[in-house]
Copies of this chain bind each other. A is one copy, B any other.
Amino acid sequence: MRIAITGANGFVGRAVTRALVGQGLRANLRLVDRAFDEGFGCETLVLDLAAPGAAAQVADGIDCLIHLAALPGAAAQADPALSRRVNLHASLDLLEHMRGRRVVYASSIAVFGSQFPAVIDDHTPAQPDSTYGAHKRMVELALADMVRQNEVLGLALRLPGIVARPQADGAFGSSFLSEMFHAAKAGMPCVVPVAPDATTWLMSARTCAYNLVYAALSSASSPDPVNLPAQHVRIGDLLAALASTGDVSGFSHVPNPSLERVFGTLPPLVATRAMELGFRSDGDLGALVEASLTDG
């Protein structure tokens, strides 16, 4: 089985590649990105997914596509036309070129918008209110229809905030969550833009990669997107967990209302379907912090 990974040089992409290489699948991989820091000894394909003909090159001879590449949320909001090219049209092109084969699409909890119900579960409707969320939802709908029509097999997985992203990944509105890990590890000051009682959803890159690989190698196929079993984390509790292995003495809270609304008011998540399908959470906050500080 040949597997292509788009966005393979990204933070999640490298974790996914590492996991697949660890399973002895190095020779089966085609890594796709605009540039590579590390090729892992795999076939690499350097291209811009929004360029004409890119989808055909990515999909050529491939049995399974793990589609991670995306313009992040804050960047998409600032340039919706670019988000349409990258997050929407390039993704739709890839689906079109993967007919008869398997697709794992990295969607996002951004599809839920920023007006959350008391609990999010498998029946909570997607109500995106950002450019990123709207385009992720549109691709979910396109994939769902192609799965119902037996044009492709596969799944959309909704990723929560993944930690700890490299410090350069500032195009994510949720970057502050990763910065907290880096600052605690380095004993540096950190201005946290949400209050201690803010709540968010987190997953370590390691667990996220496990789940994406699990979806790729399984035969699960469904029009219904899967809410990955993120950890529901209170920021004050995250600080306490970070303090146990790092130094948070330089941390302060200066809440930013718009960041807090989108990333700091997430309700409890009941991810029944994900757990039944065999997807994993980090288990608890301690394990999440440990995994994220080790890999990050």
Q: List residues of chain A with CB under 8 Å of any chain B CB.
A: 80, 84, 88-89, 92, 96, 125-131, 134-135, 137-138, 141-142, 144-146, 148-149, 151, 223
A105 to chain B, nearest CB (A): 14
Q: What is the bound-complex CA distance between A120 and B96, given in angstroms? A: 33
Q: What is the bound-complex CA distance between A144 and B80, given in angstroms? A: 12
Query: Which residue on chain B has the smallest CB distance to residue A139?
Result: B138
B134 touches A144 (CB 8 A): yes
A148 touches B125 (CB 8 A): no
Most buried by B among A88, A129, A145, A148: A145
Query: Can you give 17 A-B contacts (C-beta < 8 A)?
Result: A80-B145, A80-B146, A80-B149, A84-B96, A84-B142, A88-B92, A89-B92, A125-B125, A125-B126, A125-B127, A130-B145, A131-B149, A134-B141, A134-B142, A137-B141, A138-B141, A141-B141
Query: Which residue on chain B has the smallest CB distance to residue A99?
Result: B81
Copies of this protein in the assembly total 2
Contacts of A144 in B (CB 8 A): 134
Q: What is the bound-complex CA distance between A134 and B125, given in angstroms? A: 14
B80 touches A151 (CB 8 A): yes
Q: What is the bound-complex CA distance between A175 and B92, given in angstroms? A: 31
A52 to chain B, nearest CB (A): 13
Contacts of A149 in B (CB 8 A): 80, 131
Contacts of A80 in B (CB 8 A): 145-146, 149, 151
Q: What is the bound-complex CA distance between A88 and B138, given in angstroms? A: 10
Q: What is the bound-complex CA distance between A90 and B116, given in angstroms? A: 33
B141 touches A128 (CB 8 A): yes
Query: Which residue on chain B has the smallest CB distance to residue A148?
Result: B129
Report which of B96, B131, B135, B145 forms a contact with A134, defined as CB distance below 8 A.
Answer: B145
